[in-house]
């Protein structure tokens, strides 16, 4: 924040406050190939979560601006869909190169706005880049089927783009999740409107700039900002044929319902409570190292964080060693080279996580590591909390039922593998899960019987690479078509089936067929 802004905050004089606001950088809209200033009077303050300094003001786009974006996307679709698949593939090849060259710049924006460590932010970009690289292979993946179904008659399928599609993304992966959406949508021939999280749109704005540099034409990718009104516009607008959403249950269920009611295709990935089962025969060091990284990395703000662990039998004796590992993690600004985890996204989020820890204690769990009340040198105002571990947790406790989304590991005990699987399958969520064991038979039984989208065997965060799809089950998903991979291509296309008869001489020229054909 500028000195003027700091003064204004301390005096709270309206005129000074207005002047200070005027000096803060404002995030732009990206419509029709141009970065434009919003004319809105509603601005959302985006603060660096490690310092509380204002980074930018994010506009809530006006209804006119939203309409302009949607009309422009519809117009751009008319020409973009007629370009050749190899032309669009070339644009993606150029885009992936630009993303690679700009990885550090995007990562810097993520750490500034979202808080995660620079190393983790690079991983955020890399996992998205891999989806762009896979999108370059779309000419092979989009091919239809063909069969000669009778003499001189062929049936073939064509996968066609839908038109304008939209993406609504969460704060926790500001590069990866937009990259799950627009590259695949665009390479297929759709135009796309993105609405990044209002908490960290910076990475998306850089991606829009890179798409422009890669020669992706005006209107093929538009970026709008805002909160609920912008989302409502996307759910209702006539041009938008499909919505990809990733985020919380509350928003996702609402968007899925409202978008579907308006006849749109909606894919929605929602919240999670990912369980890891630790069998007594697991490789102890590997398991504890993996568990520590997966529970506390990114300050637990990952949809695939391994936030809940079920110790089977004697494996619970490893808890003190887990605590030792967790204690060694350094909490600081994501820009500090030795930081293992950064701050939470907002003071409200910090309060919520602290409240959920407290509820666990009140309901009878043991808090064997308490990361609350942490003050980080140089970053005293940051939204920091250290790794925390609750043990003897029961399934009716609030800390078990809620997705905490902080660096808090919730530990349960079970006597047998069957009991542990039963706990997981009774949880309403089904995003990811993992087992640690050295027994192939145990792992196989687990993979067969557990009900979750992503299953890891000695792998704590089994996010599938983009030749597969990111799957989900039960409360973690709405809609039945997954992100990226073959499923992603299905989502962004509709299939047309053509049956054609081409014959030089027509032997049946004088006979009209009035009955359904039967086998001869
Ligand atoms: P969020 O739902 O608050 O925000 C996601 C998007 O929805 C944002 O663009 C936001 O502007 C919009 N939004 C928020 N509230 C809304 C409302 N009431 N009505 C309409 N739109 C609304 O989610 P978040 O806090 O940014 O992200 C964290 C959540 O995302 C966690 O629950 C996490 O598990 C989930 N997530 C899931 C996956 C997955 O693949 N399953 C991946 C990443 C994150």
Residue 9 pLDDT grade (very low, low, confident, very high; cuts 50, 70, 90): low
- Please compute Rg for the chain using Cα positions: 26
Given ligand 1 and candidates 61, 178, 202, 248, which is best to mutate, with the most ligand atoms within 8 Å of its CB? 248
Q: Across-strand partners of 268? A: 245, 478
Ligand 1: nearest atom to the Cα of 483: 40
Q: What percent of the chain shows pLDDT beyond 70?
A: 95
Which among 136, 192, 303, 411 is annotated as catalytic?
303
pLDDT at 517: 80
For residue 101, what is the enclosing H or E element?
A: helix 85-101
18 contacts: CB under 8 Å, gap ≥ 6: none
In this structure, what token pair is assigned to residue 338? 């030795």
Rounded to whole angstroms, how far apart are CA atoms 359 and 245? 31
Instruction: Report the Cα–Cα distance between both ends of the chain, in Å, rounded.
Output: 82
> Is the backbone of residue 372 left (phi > 0), alpha (psi -120 to 50) or beta?
beta
Rounded to whole angstroms, how far apart are CA atoms 287 and 188? 41
Write down the pTM of the prediction.
0.95
Ligand 1: nearest atom to the Cα of 199: 26
Rounded to whole angstroms, how far apart are CA atoms 517 and 520? 9
How many whole angstroms from 126 Cα to the centroid of ligand 1?
21
How many whole angstroms from 249 Cα to the centroid of ligand 1?
7
Residue 305 pLDDT grade (very low, low, confident, very high; cuts 50, 70, 90): very high
Ligand 1: nearest atom to the Cα of 476: 41
**What is the mean pLDDT of the segment spanning 336-342?**
98
How many whole angstroms from 362 Cα to the centroid of ligand 1?
29
SS3 358: helix
- Taking CA atoms only, the protein residue closest to ligand 1 atom 23 is 247
- CB-count burial class (<10 Å; 0-12, 13-18, 19+) for 85: middle
For residue 147, what is the enclosing H or E element?
A: strand 146-150
Q: Which residues line ligand 1 (CB under 6 A)?
A: 168-173, 195, 197-198, 227-228, 231, 246-248, 250-251, 254, 269-272, 303, 403, 405, 431, 470, 472, 476
pLDDT at 1: 44
113, 173 Cβ separation under 8 angstroms: no
pLDDT over 70 at 440, yes or no: yes
Is 303 one of the catalytic residues? Answer: yes
Please give the sequence-ordered ranges of beta strands (E in DSSP) within 21-99, or none if there are none: 29-31, 34-36, 43-47, 54-59
pLDDT digits 0-9 by tens, 474-507: 999 999 899 999 999 999 999 999 999 999 876 6
**What is the mean pLDDT of the segment spanning 99-121?**
98
pLDDT digits 0-9 by tens, 361-397: 999 999 999 999 999 999 999 999 999 999 999 999 9
In this structure, what token pair is assigned to residue 95? 């885009």
């Amino acid at each position: 924040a500028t000195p003027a802004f700091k003064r204004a905050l301390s005096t709270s004089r309206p005129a000074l406050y207005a002047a200070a606001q005027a000096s803060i950088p404002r995030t732009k809209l990206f419509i029709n190939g141009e970065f434009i200033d919003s004319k809105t009077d509603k601005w959302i303050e985006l603060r660096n979560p490690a310092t509380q300094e204002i980074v930018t003001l994010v506009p809530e786009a006006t209804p006119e601006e939203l309409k302009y974006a949607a009309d422009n996307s519809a117009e751009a679709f008319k020409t973009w869909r007629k370009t050749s698949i190899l032309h669009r593939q070339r644009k993606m090849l150029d885009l992936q190169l630009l993303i690679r060259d700009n990885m550090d710049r995007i990562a810097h924006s993520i750490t500034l706005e979202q808080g995660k460590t620079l190393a983790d932010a690079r991983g955020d970009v890399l996992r998205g880049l891999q989806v762009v690289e896979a999108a370059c292979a779309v000419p092979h993946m989009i091919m239809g089927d063909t069969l000669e179904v009778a003499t001189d008659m062929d049936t073939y399928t064509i996968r066609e783009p839908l038109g304008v599609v939209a993406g609504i993304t969460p704060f926790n992966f500001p590069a990866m999740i937009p990259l799950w959406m627009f590259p695949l949508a665009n390479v297929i021939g759709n135009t796309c409107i993105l609405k990044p999280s209002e908490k960290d749109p910076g990475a998306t704005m850089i991606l829009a700039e890179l798409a422009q540099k890669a020669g992706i034409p005006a209107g093929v990718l538009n970026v709008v900002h805002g909160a609920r009104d912008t989302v409502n516009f996307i759910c209702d607008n006539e041009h938008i044929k499909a919505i990809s959403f990733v985020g919380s249950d509350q928003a996702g269920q609402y968007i899925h319902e409202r978008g579907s009611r308006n006849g749109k295709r909606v894919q929605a990935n929602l919240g999670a409570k990912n369980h890891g089962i630790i069998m007594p025969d697991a490789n102890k060091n590997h398991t504890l190292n993996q568990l520590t990284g997966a529970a506390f990395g990114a300050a637990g703000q990952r949809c695939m964080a391994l936030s809940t662990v079920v110790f089977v039998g004697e494996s619970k004796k490893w808890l003190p060693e887990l605590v030792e590992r967790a204690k060694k993690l350094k909490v600081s600004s994501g820009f500090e080279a030795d930081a293992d985890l950064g701050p939470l996204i907002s003071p409200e989020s910090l309060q919520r996580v602290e409240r959920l820890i407290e509820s666990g204690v009140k309901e009878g769990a043991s808090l064997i590591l308490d990361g609350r009340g942490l003050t980080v040198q140089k970053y005293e105002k940051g939204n920091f909390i250290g790794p925390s571990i609750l043990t003897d947790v029961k399934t009716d406790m609030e800390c078990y039922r809620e997705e905490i989304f902080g660096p808090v590991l919730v530990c349960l005990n079970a006597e047998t593998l069957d009991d542990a699987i039963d706990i997981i399958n009774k949880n309403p969520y089904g995003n990811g899960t993992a087992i640690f064991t050295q027994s192939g038979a145990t792992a196989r039984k687990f993979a067969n019987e557990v009900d979750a989208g992503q299953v890891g065997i000695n792998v704590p965060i089994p996010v599938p690479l983009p030749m597969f799809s990111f799957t989900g089950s039960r409360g973690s998903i709405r809609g039945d078509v997954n992100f990226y991979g073959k499923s992603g291509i299905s989502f962004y296309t509709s299939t047309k089936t053509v049956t054609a008869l081409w014959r030089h001489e027509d032997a049946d020229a004088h006979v009209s067929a009035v009955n359904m054909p039967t086998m001869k």
